Structure 1
Amino acid sequence: MSPALATLDWNHAWDWFNDAPIRVVATIVAAVALRWVLHRVVSRAIALAISQGDRDKQGRAGRVLAHAAGWDVERHRQRLSTLGTLLRSIITFVVAGVAILTVMSLVGIPLAPLLASAGVGGVALGFGAQSLVKDFLSGIFMIMEDQYGVGDVVDVGEVVGTVEDVSLRITTLRDANGVTWHVRNGEILRVGNKSQGWAQILVDLPVSYDADVEAALTALDRVAAAFAGDPAWSDKVLEAPTVLGVESISGNALTLRMLAKCISGEEFGVQRELRRRGKAALDEAGISGPSPLAIPPGTGGVR
């Protein structure tokens, strides 16, 4: 028998093996099991919230109102999935950190100096990475509050554009000129979302000063009623357009105004269609447009 084996205290070795390694293994197994259980709970909660949201939005009226309030089903799913991923990452980080510290304590590594050094380093990192922490926290709250999502047209102060990507640190926008903007979430102090909720549009139709106003308004009332009952457009408006009446009077024209509420993103199409139908209805009723201003003789239109 070798001298090393002869001097080995087998009882002490067995006690050590029976104590620390088993506790280490038990800690790791418990951490893995706890992480799996918590991830399972988060996944089930997210799936339940998504299915509940899908059931709440069934039916044409429900879909229109849901879209009008910014509760699009696919967007709802994306937001909940992002929150689920964030929660699972936090759970993994916390469980792994506690497990590592527990294992280090079991094998006899002193934690006090390590925690003191980590505290000093954390303070230094906190001062140096304030903007980074601010960006991440702002991104978390933006996602949780559903302030905007991919595809929305937003005004963040410095730029107005379509959201192409939202992460915890950066929001990517593309403006009307095709320029891509990468905006840090911590620098966004206000957000104007032009795609969330409903939009209100105004349609002005000028007619001749001498036109029959009552006949013109009656024709536009028929247009509003027919528009709300048209299957091609009824899912895009929240209610029948309203004929407000005479908006303004100028030297040679009266301006008639219509108002409509529609789901966001459809306002330009609804506005163009109402203007086209209003023009056709006024022509059919014999209501002419304003005549051009007369130019005094000899001026040639130039002063």
Structure 2
Amino acid sequence: MFGNEPWAPLVSSAITIVLILVLAFVLRNVAHRIITRVVNRAATGGSITSRFRKGAAPDGIDALLHERRKQRAETMGSVLKHVASIVVLGTAALTVLDRLTIPIAPLLTSVGILGVAVGFGAQELVKDFIAGMFMLLEDQYGVGDVIDTGAAVGTVEAVTLRITRLRDADGRVWYIRNGTITRVGNESQGWSRAYMDVPVAYDADVVGVKVLLEQVAEEMWADSELRESKIVEEPQVYGVEQLSDSSLVFRITTKTLPSAQSEVAREMRLRVKSALDTAGIQLVGSA
């Protein structure tokens, strides 16, 4: 095209380099768009709480679950975009250097040695990031969950690849590195359980007390406010749970939405106490 002009190889190399860079940026943008589309699809979904009860799920619970999915998907999307950019642009840079007849073997060797040095110096940071990635992928917990990490117990306020931020019952904020979390107890996944042990006198009417507690359970299940926002299953009365020389212990229990067990348990105690007082039955000791 340029004949035997002395500048022809330079022009040819320049055109090749430009094409390599343009192709690299095109591939990078395509990869980012694909990742964004996957992230958006993963961040949206149907009501998870609908699996626990028929009918519409509470808007607040669905909003929390949606935000949790969105945060997890966006975090993973950000990581994937960075990885895609490094791979595509790094490959393009090496190809350009090779086109310019610059030896890349010493560069690769230097980068490898530097990577090993950084890896040794940042072992804890790498450990935190890897643990954070698996935690997000496996959905071990998310924003709004009440969890027990061993070091602290509280409500998750923020989750990143490096740290998890908790706020405990006293309002204290805990920053926990993901790599140091060896086990997690999550009180907010799937469903929770609220229960109450009712100790009555040893000579109390067993059948009468059980019938009374079953009435309380039916009243709670018939309460539309509780069914729509907290309870996912009709309360059950197990009968005599424990037997001692001074009392009979009955147990009443129910499944609740995640993190609603404390509120349901408090309501259960109020209703049981009121029913026992009306029937003239006294509680004995504590259980």
Q: What is residue 157 of structure 2 aligned with on the other side?
A: 164
Give distance in 2, aligned partners of 1:29 and 1:47. 27
Which residue pairs with 2:103 in the alignment?
110
| 139-148 vs 193-202, greater mean Cα deviation | 193-202
Shift of 1:247: 2.8
Please report how far the alpha carbon of residue 181 of structure 1 lies from its aligned counterpart in structure 2 after TM superposition.
2.1
Q: Specify whether residues 174 and 49 from structure 1 end up closer, same or farther in structure 2 by C-alpha distance, changes over 3 A only.
A: closer
1:54 pairs with one of 46, 56, 62: 46
Within 1, Cα distance between the matches of 2:135 and 2:284?
A: 53
Gaps of 5+ in 1: 1-9, 293-303
TM-score (norm 1): 0.82
Indicate conservation of the 8 Å contact 1:201/1:260, yes or no: yes
DSSP-derived class of the 1:261 partner = strand
Q: Deviations over 1:86-122 (max 9, x none)?
A: 2112111211111111122122221011111111111
Structure-2 residue corresponding to 1:222:
215
Using the TM superposition, give the Cα deviation of residue 81 of structure 1 relative to its aligned residue in structure 2, in angstroms. 2.0
| Structure whose alpha-carbon radius of gyration is higher | 1
- Aligned residue in 1 for 2:272: 278
2:249 is the counterpart of 1:255:
yes
Q: How many residues align?
A: 278
- Native 8 Å contact 2:128 2:161 kept in 1: yes
- Does residue 95 (structure 1) correspond to residue 101 (structure 2)? The answer is no
Partner SS state of residue 46, structure 2: helix
Which residue is 1:296 aligned to? none
Q: What is the CA deviation profile of residues 47-92 of structure 1, one whole-angstrom value per residue up to 9, with x for unaligned ones?
A: 23334x2377669637659x99xx9222122212222222112111
3-state DSSP of counterpart to 2:282: coil
Structure 2 CA distance for partners of 1:277 and 1:58, relative to 1, 3 Å:
closer
TM-score, normalized by length of structure 2? 0.87
Q: How does 1:29-178 map to 2 (within 5 A)?
A: 29-51=22-44, 53-54=45-46, 61=54, 72-178=65-171
CA RMSD of aligned residues (A): 2.7
- CA-to-aligned-CA distance 1:214-259 (integer Å, 9 cap, x gap): 1221121121122122211113222111111123345554332111
Structure 2: tracts of 5 or more residues without a match? none
Q: In percent, how many aligned pairs have the same letter?
A: 44
Residues 102 and 190 (structure 1), Cα distance of their counterparts in 2 relative to 1, 3 Å cut: same
Q: Paired residue for 2:262?
A: 268
Q: The residue matched to 2:259 in structure 1 has which SS?
A: coil
